[in-house]
Structures are given as structure tokens and as C-alpha cells.
Amino acid sequence: MPSYAYFHKQFVPLSEAKIGVMTNAFHYGTAIFEGIRGNWNSEQKQIYLFRLREHYQRMHQGCQVLKIDLPYTIDELCQITVKLVEMCRFEEDVYVRPLAYKSAERLGVRLHDVEDDFLAFVIPWGPYLDVDKARCGISSWRRPDYNVIPPQAKITGLYANNALAKSEAIENGFDEAIMLTPDGHISEGSGENIFLVTDGKLVTPASYNNILMGITRDTVIKL
């Protein structure tokens, strides 16, 4: 079943959503993304999007960090996403990837005076890890400090750090990496927050441990 994208302010087939090779975000990692899960309910024949509004609230905050002028309100972003998922008509778990990015097709390292745009697409995607019990290894790659690049924003360029840790883990026979802060405290995985059960209590690294303030993490804490 073909998928669709929201691109240049219109809905188009995913295969037609293309950026130019000189796009600023492609060269410098100047984009903010979110990863929104949609869970298929076979009895109700419906996809339930996980905390959609909270994802776009975080995206708006990240756009402020990268000086991206996101031309949509949170309500409008939610409406675009719901329509996009409905158009795709998948009957399985999906993943929505919205991206606010520096869209100017010119080079130069800066955030100011660079045009912005927004896109989103939907693909089928099951569990993030293909195993029930993941074998984790401590990565030699450390999470950057706040004065290097702010980890509370999902900045595409930052995720080279996560990719290095993930590939190192796989190459060393593990399923996932556990990343530490520069001073050696547990931070997070390459693509998820970390929880530990100790003495009957659920504990997780604090916000000052260079973590992404995960929405799933927040849900677990509230539950």
C-alpha cells in the first residue's frame, strides 16, 4: 500500500517528496524531528497515535533552539498528522516522522537568515528492537553536554552521536548501547530512555544527565 507525505504545504505520494541536494539541513543537520508511534487496534480497526500533542509541543520548543520558524500551531500539526495517517490507510503499527528543517538550497554554517519548511510522512514500523530482551553494552561514545549541543531537542545533527554508539554496540555483539555523560554517569540508550528496577523501585537518569526528555519516559513516570 503506497504511503503519503505532507510536503511543501500539500499531501503528496511519499515517492514524490524530494529535497534538493543543496538543502541546508542535509549538509549541516539543521532540523528538528519527532518520532510518533501509531498503534493499530485490530478490534476497532483504528490507529491510535501516542501523545500526539506532546510531541508537537516538544518540536515547537526544539525549533526555538535552531531558530526555525514553524508556520503551524500545535493544533494544525495534529490535524495534518491525523489526516496523513488516515490517507495512508495502514492496518498495522506505524511511525510518523515530522521534520522542521532549514530548507534553503545554499551552503553556509549558520541558523539565521535561512528559510525553513516542514514535512511529515508515515511508514509501517513494528517494535524498535527486534528482541524481547536486549543485550546492552556501555558505549565508548559519550552524550554531549548542554554547552555542546542541547540534548533536550531532537536535532538531526546530534543523532550522529547516537548512530556511532548504536553501530559500535552491534559490531561488538550487543543489541543496544548505553551511553554515559562526559563524567561517566548513565544517560540513555541510542534511541530510548533507560529505566532500572532496583530494590522494588523504578529509577531513571535525571534530566541533568544529558538525556532527551522522552515522552514515553514521562508517561512511565506518571503511571
Cβ atoms of residues 180 and 191 within 8 Å: no
**Burial class, 112, CB count within 10 angstroms (exposed 0-12 / middle 13-18 / buried 19+):** exposed
State the Cα–Cα distance between residues 48 and 38, nearest whole angstrom: 5
State the Cα–Cα distance between residues 190 and 45, nearest whole angstrom: 33
End-to-end CA separation in angstroms for the chain: 36
Provide the residue count of the chain. 223
State the Cα–Cα distance between residues 20 and 126, nearest whole angstrom: 30
Choose, from 154, 166, 201, 222, the residue flagged as catalytic. Answer: 154
Cβ atoms of residues 205 and 184 within 8 Å: no
Cβ atoms of residues 192 and 181 within 8 Å: no
Q: Where do runs of H (alpha helix) occur along 89-212?
A: 159-171
> Catalytic: 154?
yes
Residue with cell 535561512: 114
State the Cα–Cα distance between residues 67 and 30, nearest whole angstrom: 10
Return the bridge partners of 47, or none: 40
Catalytic site positions: 154
